[in-house]
Structure 1
Amino acid sequence: MPPFPDPKAIEADVSAELDRGDPRAALALLRPVAFGLAAESGGGFRALVGRLPAEVWEHDPLIAAALGHSYRSSDAPRGAAGLAYFAAAEDAAAADPATPAQTVAAVLVSHAGGLRAAGRLGQARAKLQQAQAIIDAGLDGPVPGAMEIRVRHALESGVLDLHGGRYASARGHLLTAHGLATYLGRAESVECVGALALLDFVLGDIVAAERSARESRELAAGSTLGRSGYAVPAMATLLLVDLDRGLDGAAEDEAALAEAAAHTEWEPYAALVAGTRQAMLGRAAEALALLADARRGFLEWEVAGFGRDVAELVRASQLARVGRGDEAWEILSRLRPGELHVMCPGVHLASHLLAGGDLHGAGRALAACEALGEAHAVRGLLEARLLRGAVAAGLGDHATADLNVDLAFIGMARTGSRAPLRMVPAGVLVSLAERALQREHSEEVHRLIEQTRRATDGAPSAIEPLSVRERLVLAEAQRGATVSAIAAAMYISPNTVKTHLRRVYRKLGVTTREEAIRRARTLGLHEITRDSPVPRNDDTRGT
């Protein structure tokens, strides 16, 4: 762990110079550590500056920018409160032609952080671009040094890329900042490692995510940073890791996350995590309320972020749960996969269709994921493989099913992720696990398969898919056709229509036409092609 400056010691040294009546010496002590002290002890930093004569610091761009930075600490009003100081810092730098280039760059990078924290991501990106132009032209001179500016620029760029769903670029920037963390203050280090943890979780490496999140928490230990926005990525990651593993997560941790994220750009993420937790606990109404909060928060950003689409995916699952399946299907149908298919509606569509027994539809929904292949983010790739295994098993293609199921379990054992298991109905999963136990695996993989089999043992048998003719009868029923009209359209007798409808009700677990239509919408079965050819015989085989 790098040796971070002690805020109390810095405050004592600066106070001693002020007590001796030497404010310029106090300022000289304060300037090199201004940003680190402001982030960790915003109130203390503002108090020290308040003791300086105005003429000593009011035209100093670094001190003005650090005052803006101080509003990101845990003991200060957050949001846009500090942005006026950043504007003043830029004005002061522009007013003095002798202002060093590195000072201007430092002010711009810090301003970008303040704008990001206020949710103004587009403006933050513009400030970083201005700073990059100065960096590219060359930096040297007094503190803050050239390397510090470059590393803080990398951190800000990495977090913005993470928010925007540019994962490869985010990883490059964040790893650069992490590798040169000796040039970062404690607050920036806490956020950098936490952002890497969140990125690892999003990509599906749960083991690495948990390790980095705990490292971030250790960096914040002994300071107030654990209650600030800087700690939110790590806090969110640890809660998400628990949820991925099927654990409840602690209500007090959820409350602490909400408090730390309040009035920062991380606030919608806190609502998303809380909504996901409520969904896991089976509290659909509470989940939908929190997800609506998350969606509103993300919509306030100047640019779209990946978190909004994740919130929409979780919202779709809860809408389906409360019988609003047509809304859920509309969400799933309009979402588009982002970079690396990290936010992948295809696997959710496939899961939805598999639950309804539409094996061919589920297979088609996975096509884009499979075309991406190994370039797919790990989490989505494992989900796609397990789903493909379930689809192939349902269609009797056991060679394809066995390979994909094995690859999925091997990946889950390596990454620690358990989320893919929730994409497949329990009745299907138990049969896949029982078959997998008959094959040779490493001890770790065998243990995971056995745990899966025990957890799903006794689950209802695999879903019986609707036949082609049953799906067409259901489609006619959804359009309001009577039994006689359906019989005429399909060239079959009314009694045969009634037989098909009884089979549909049994397979969907309902007793009336209205229930069947609602259930079909929940499962996406209303998306039957309107111009599908009508079979001219009573062949009910196939799906």
Structure 2
Amino acid sequence: MAMVEATDAAGAVTWQEIVRLGPAELRDRVVGHGAEDTWTQDPAALLAIAAAHREPGSANPYAVEPYLDAADRALDGVEGVDALRVLAPVIRSTSLRALGRFTAAREQLTLADRRLADGALPLSCRVELESLVSLETGLCQLLTGRLDEAHRALRRALNVAEDRTPPAVRAEALAAVALIELRSGGLRSADAHLAAARIAATQAGPAPRLGSALIELADAAVAIERGAIDGIGDRLVELIAETASTEYAPLVVAESAEASEDDDQAADLLQDVQFLVREWEAPNLPLALHDEHRIAMLVRRREVVAARAEIGRLEPDSAHSQCPPTWSARVALDTGDPARAIELAADCLELGDAHAPRTAVMSMLVTAAAHAALGDIRTADDLFDRSVALAAPSAAVRPFGILAPHELAGLIDRSAHARNDDGGATSSRALLDAVAARYPTRDAYSPESLSARERVVLSRLSGGATHHGIAFDLSVSPNTIKTQVRSIYRKLGVTTRDGAVQRARHLGLID
């Protein structure tokens, strides 16, 4: 007798619909199917309700367990429901992953794999379920920071079922691959995967899904990498609400910290990251992002001891998507030891194309600044030109923030002069312009550079007023004040309120 692919025809949903439909539609389908005492005996309906708890903005991984336990009991001893037997541990793994319980989540996926191997399923069902299991495995590996393993699993999720891969699965997998490419591959590859993810999300339908939130996160991360931070903070605030109580929330908060131009606000956001993952298994990607962003902030503040302690917690992967030697070299440069900086970064430079492009650019930049400090201008300029050539095709601006303004100024001036003489590459000239705009290198701020409204806001800041207090007094939204504060910081060349007040007093803008 042929095995059926779904629940009984009279059931609320099929297993394919559980994979394809959005949370709200699943819930409506089940609840509208009949009385509660009817659908609570239907394992597919129970799994559908469990899956519906991943609804953007109201996800609840804790509420999933009773429905999954009831589904397991309903499946016990029933024949012809092999697809549902595979799907049950997959959905359970998703709720465990949202709680940071990655070992338990992987155990559930191993169980799903075993049931898939043992089940009597048609080939079309088998490959579609294999795609789903691979997606969940890849997301689990991504969140634990195992980027190479995650990439392999996600590529399998995209290709094993080919055109039978559910669009929602394809969209989430492509967005995850884009995030991996951003850290260990390159921006151009991330762009391509993001574009494909958006197409797949459109094919999946209009129902809100967390896969779409992951696309938005990857899109924001790419924009930050290119230095296009205007409006990103507001987008990420909305995304934090959409991803609440999910495994993506700490990633969104970490990117919010990176996008912030106010070090005080960034420090608060990084504390939020730690709070969100306090019960997660380690290692995990959000904590790695926390450490990376905190190091960058400590380096900007010249807090050497604290920076070294944080660097000691970093563990490089094979592609150095996190690169402790580069940050150690940056600290050595700040402490007046450029020769040591060159020594520390040497092994990173030798990795060549095996090094993640973003951190490779950072390593070249720090080494260039170290050679310049030693008076070896030719080597410094050569390394800087190599960093620009590597970053220019994808317009990656963010890595250049590792240098202090005075270091960046000399390198940019000499490079720009040379390019004007020989014509230079258009993409390289555009990148240098973008870097100069994102990281001002001149001490040329004057009272005239601030608008009248910005001067009013600056005066209130110096008096200790909060953003909300200033917004209330000026009858504007807090987001407007945040934008104006960012503009003030950018124009004054600072990253904190105290720095802005001190700089403003030096310029005579306030008493």
In structure 2, runs of 5+ residues without a counterpart are 1-6, 445-511
Q: Paired residue for 2:19?
A: 35
Judging changes above 3 Å, is the alpha-carbon distance between structure 1 residues 112 and 334 closer, same or farther for their aligned structure 2 residues? closer
> Alignment partner for residue 45 of structure 1, among 15, 29, 32?
29
Q: Does 1:428 align with 2:407?
A: yes
CA distance in 1: counterparts of 2:256 and 2:438, whole angstroms? 25
CA distance in 2: counterparts of 1:345 and 1:195, whole angstroms? 24
Q: Contact between 1:190 and 1:230, CA under 8 Å: does it hold in 2?
A: yes
> Alignment partner for residue 70 of structure 2, among 68, 83, 88?
88
Q: Does 1:152 align with 2:137?
A: no
CA shift digits 1:320-346 (9 cap, x unpaired): 556754323311233222342112222
Q: Does 1:190 align with 2:174?
A: no
Judging changes above 3 Å, is the alpha-carbon distance between structure 1 residues 427 and 276 closer, same or farther for their aligned structure 2 residues? same
Q: Does 1:445 align with 2:428?
A: yes
> Alignment partner for residue 111 of structure 1, among 77, 88, 92?
92
Larger radius of gyration: 1
CA distance in 1: counterparts of 2:413 and 2:301, whole angstroms? 32
Judging changes above 3 Å, is the alpha-carbon distance between structure 1 residues 419 and 234 closer, same or farther for their aligned structure 2 residues? same
Matches within 5 A, 1:270-309: 270-278=252-260, 281=261, 283-309=262-288
Matches within 5 A, 1:4-23: none
**Residue identity matched to 2:356:** A
- Superposed displacement of residue 383, structure 1: 1.3
Task: Report SS of the residue matched to 2:371.
Answer: helix
Q: Paired residue for 1:233?
A: 214
Q: Does 1:361 align with 2:340?
A: yes
Judging changes above 3 Å, is the alpha-carbon distance between structure 1 residues 245 and 31 closer, same or farther for their aligned structure 2 residues? closer
CA distance in 2: counterparts of 1:268 and 1:454, whole angstroms? 29
Task: Report SS of the residue matched to 1:338.
Answer: coil
Q: Does 1:334 align with 2:318?
A: no
TM value normalised by structure 2:
0.75
In structure 1, runs of 5+ residues without a counterpart are 1-22, 462-543
TM value normalised by structure 1:
0.71
Judging changes above 3 Å, is the alpha-carbon distance between structure 1 residues 90 and 46 closer, same or farther for their aligned structure 2 residues? same
> Alignment partner for residue 161 of structure 1, among 135, 141, 148?
141
Q: Contact between 1:284 and 1:321, CA under 8 Å: does it hold in 2?
A: no
Judging changes above 3 Å, is the alpha-carbon distance between structure 1 residues 340 and 147 closer, same or farther for their aligned structure 2 residues? same
Q: Does 1:173 align with 2:156?
A: no
CA distance in 1: counterparts of 2:70 and 2:389, whole angstroms? 56
CA shift digits 1:165-212 (9 cap, x unpaired): 222222222222223464344433332222122122222522332443
Q: Does 1:129 align with 2:105?
A: no
CA shift digits 1:15-46 (9 cap, x unpaired): xxxxxxxx964427644423322546243234
> Alignment partner for residue 330 of structure 2, among 330, 351, 355?
351
**Residue identity matched to 1:245:** R
- Superposed displacement of residue 52, structure 1: 5.4
Judging changes above 3 Å, is the alpha-carbon distance between structure 1 residues 453 and 236 closer, same or farther for their aligned structure 2 residues? closer
Judging changes above 3 Å, is the alpha-carbon distance between structure 1 residues 412 and 324 closer, same or farther for their aligned structure 2 residues? closer
Q: Contact between 2:15 and 2:83, CA under 8 Å: does it hold in 1?
A: no
Q: Does 1:417 align with 2:417?
A: no
Q: Contact between 1:128 and 1:153, CA under 8 Å: does it hold in 2?
A: yes
CA shift digits 1:285-321 (9 cap, x unpaired): 2111110110122232124212212212212333455
Range moving further from structure 2, 182-191 or 383-392: 182-191
Query: Over aligned residues, Cα RMSD in angstroms?
Result: 3.1
